[in-house]
A and B are shown apart, each in its own frame.
Chain A
Amino acid sequence: MRPETEQDYVEFVTHHANSLCRTAYLLCGDWRRAEDATQEALIRLYRVWGRIQRKGAVGAYARKVVVSTTLDALRRKSSQEVVGGDEYFANEAEADVLGVLENRMVITKALAELPPRQRACVVLRYFDELSVDETAIALDCRPGTVKSQTLRALEKLRTHPSLAELSDLVGIK
C-alpha cells in the first residue's frame, strides 16, 4: 500500500475505531468482544483499503465488516467456546446487579433478547442512524428484510417488561 493511502487508513482508524466499537458493543453486549471484533474488522479492512477507498464507500464497508465479525463471533462453532462464554452479556450479566436499574442496562438487556439480525437492524437503524438501504448493505440483505426485521424488533422492544417500566417509554406506540 502506498504511504499516502496508508495514511488515509490510519486517519480512518483514529477517527472511527471508537464509533465502530460502540456499534459492536450493542451487537454483542461485551466490551472485550466488541474491541476484539473491531480490531479484527479493521485488520480485514486494511487488506481491501485501496479498492474500497476508490469506490468511496469506506464507512459503509467498515460497518459491514464490524457487524459481520461481531455476529460471527457470537455464532456457535464446533471449535469455539460454548460453555458459559457465547451468550450476550456473558461477562456482565451478574457483575452489575445495581446497573439493571439504570437505563443503559435496561436497553442492553432488551437488545440481548432479540435475535442477532433483529438486534443488528435496531442498532444500525437507530443508533448509527443508517437508512434502510444502508442497513441492507451492511447486513447484506434486501431492504424489505430490514424493514420487516426492524418492525418485529420494535414490537418486541415495546412489549419488553424492562422497557415498559421506564417512565419515558410508557404509553409510547
Chain B
Amino acid sequence: MTGELKTLMDQATERGTSFAPDVTELVAAGRHRTRRRRVMLSAATAVGTATAVVAVLLVGRIGATRTEPLPAATAADRPAAITDLCAKSDDFFRTANDDAWRRQVVTNWTDKVVEVTDADGAMTVRRSPDGSQYAYCVAGVPIQGQPLGGFGSALLNVGIVTRGYQIQRYWSLACGNAPVERSYKQSSCRGVRYSYAGRVPEGVTRIAFTGLGQRADAAIKDGYWVHRVYTDDIRNSDPDPIYISMYDASGKQVFKERY
C-alpha cells in the first residue's frame, strides 16, 4: 500500500503553479526579526540587571520603612482595558497572540488609516509611529462597562510576505443580532460577526461583499479597507456563503474568493 500512497500523495500535491516566495522579502523579514530579537534580548538583560540592583537597595530599607495606607484607586488611576484584537499581516503568527504587542499598538499606534464603527465596535487599520508597519484591529463598544471585541483572528489569503490580496478576518459571537461579551460561552447562541481588513491591491478601486443576505462595499481609505458581515445564525453561511470581490476602475472583476 505504501507505494500507492506515495503516488496518491504526489498526485494530490500537483497543481499548475509552483510555490516560489519572494526571497528578497523573506530575507528582509528574517533580518527584521533577527534585529528585533537582539533588541529585545538586550532590553530584557538591562531590565533584569536594573531590577536586581533596585531589589538589593530596597531590601536594606524594608525594616526602616513603614507602609503608608494607599488611597483607593480611582477609575482614572486604573490602566485602560485593552480590548482591541490586533495582528500584523506580515507577522501574523507572532502578533495575533502577543498581548504585550497588542497593548503597545493600542497605546502608541494612534495613527488610524481607516476606521469604521458600528454596533459591534470599531474595525481599524493602525499605522506604526514610524509609518513602516500596519496592524489590523477590531475593538468593541462597552456594554455594562465591559468592552467587547473580536474573539479571534485568522489569516486569509494574506501571505506573510508576498501575496497581493491581503485579507485578515476576525470573528466574534452573538446571540441573535445582539453582541455578547468576550467571556460569553453559551453554546445556543449561533450569531457570528466576521470583521475583515486588508490592503487594497494595486489597481483595485472597489471591494464588494456578498453573502449571509447582505451586499455592501468595504470602506476604503489610503490603500487599506475594512468591512464587517454578520449573521444571527452561523448555519446561514451554508446556503449563502460570504464572497469577497474586487474590481478595478473600469468595473472589471479582478478577484473573487469565498471566505
Residues on A facing B (Cβ under 8 Å)? 1, 6, 9-10, 13-14, 17-18, 21-22, 25-26, 31-36, 38-40, 42-43, 45-47, 49, 69, 72-73, 77-86, 91, 95, 102-108, 122-123, 125-127, 129, 154, 157-158, 166, 168-169, 172-173
Q: CB < 8 Å: which of B23, B153, B163 contacts A81?
A: B153
Give bound CA distance, A116 to B210, whole Å: 34
Residue of B nearest to A80 (CB): B152
Q: Whole-angstrom distance between the alpha carbons of A104 and B237 in the complex?
A: 27
Verify B1–A39 contact, CB threshold 8 A.
no
- B20 touches which of A18, A79, A85, A154 (Cβ 8 Å): A18
Contact of A122 among B5, B15, B31 (CB under 8 A): B5
> 8 shortest A-B CB distances, which residue pairs?
A46-B30, A81-B154, A107-B8, A21-B19, A104-B12, A22-B13, A127-B9, A39-B160
> B156 contacts which chain A residues (CB < 8 A)?
32, 85
The answer on a CB contact under 8 Å between A129 and B11 is no
Whether, in the assembled complex, B234 has its beta carbon less than 8 Å from a beta carbon of chain A, the answer is: yes
If the complex has contacts A10-B23, A79-B153, are A84 and B237 also in contact, measured as CB distance less than 8 A? yes
Give the distance in Å from the alpha carbon of A125 to the alpha carbon of B206 in the complex: 47
Minimum Cβ distance to chain A for residue B8 (Å): 4
Report chain A residues within 8 Å CB of B6: 126-127, 129
Does any Cβ of A come within 8 Å of B202's Cβ? no
Contact with A along B9-44 (1 / 0, CB 8 A): 111111100111101001101110110010000000
User: A10 touching B169 by the CB < 8 A rule?
Assistant: no
Check B23–A77 contact: CB distance below 8 A: no
Other CB < 8 Å A-B pairs besides A85-B154, A104-B8, A127-B5, 15 of them? A9-B30, A17-B21, A18-B19, A21-B19, A39-B162, A43-B29, A45-B30, A46-B34, A73-B93, A81-B154, A103-B12, A122-B5, A126-B2, A127-B10, A173-B1
CB-based nearest B residue for A10 = B23
Contact partners of B161 in chain A: CB under 8 A = 39, 43
Taking A43-B26, A79-B151 as contacts, is the C-beta distance between A26 and B13 under 8 angstroms?
Answer: yes
Q: Which chain A positions have C-beta within 8 A of B15? A: 31
Complex CA–CA separation, A173 to B157 (angstroms)? 40
Q: A42-B26, A47-B33, A126-B2 are in contact. Are A84 and B234 (CB under 8 A)?
A: yes
* Candidates B9, B23, B34, B85; contact of A26 at CB < 8 Å: B9
Bound Cα distance from A158 to B169, whole angstroms: 38
Interface residue B155 (Cβ < 8 Å from any Cβ of A):
yes
Complex partner residue of B1 from A13, A17, A157, CB under 8 angstroms: A157
Contacts of A82 in B (CB 8 A): 151-152, 171
**B residues within 8 A CB of A157?**
1, 5
From A45, A107, A158, B11 is in contact (CB under 8 Å) with A107
- Taking CB atoms, residues of chain B closer than 8 Å to A34 are 19
For residue A13, give the distance in angstroms from its CB to the closest CB of chain B: 5
- By a CB distance below 8 angstroms, the chain B residues around A21 are 19
Report yes or no: B160 in contact with A158, Cβ–Cβ below 8 A: no
Task: Provide the B141-178 mask, 1 if CB < 8 A to any CB of A, else 0.
Answer: 00000000001111111111111000001010000000
Does B252 have its Cβ within 8 Å of any Cβ on chain A? no
A106 touches B171 (CB 8 A): no
Contact A43 B152 (CB under 8 A): no
Q: Note all chain B residues with C-beta closer than 8 A to A18.
A: 18-20
- Central interface residue in B4, B9, B162, B237, by most chain A CB within 10 Å: B9
How long is the Cα–Cα vector from A1 to B156 in the complex, in angstroms? 32
**Chain A min CB distance to B32 (Å):** 9
Kindly supply a per-residue 1/0 record for chain B positions 40-77, scoring 1 wherever the CB is within 8 Å of any chain A CB and 0 otherwise. Answer: 00000000000000000000000000000000000000
A166 to B4 alpha-carbon distance, docked (Å): 10
Tell me whether B157 and A32 are in contact (CB under 8 A): yes
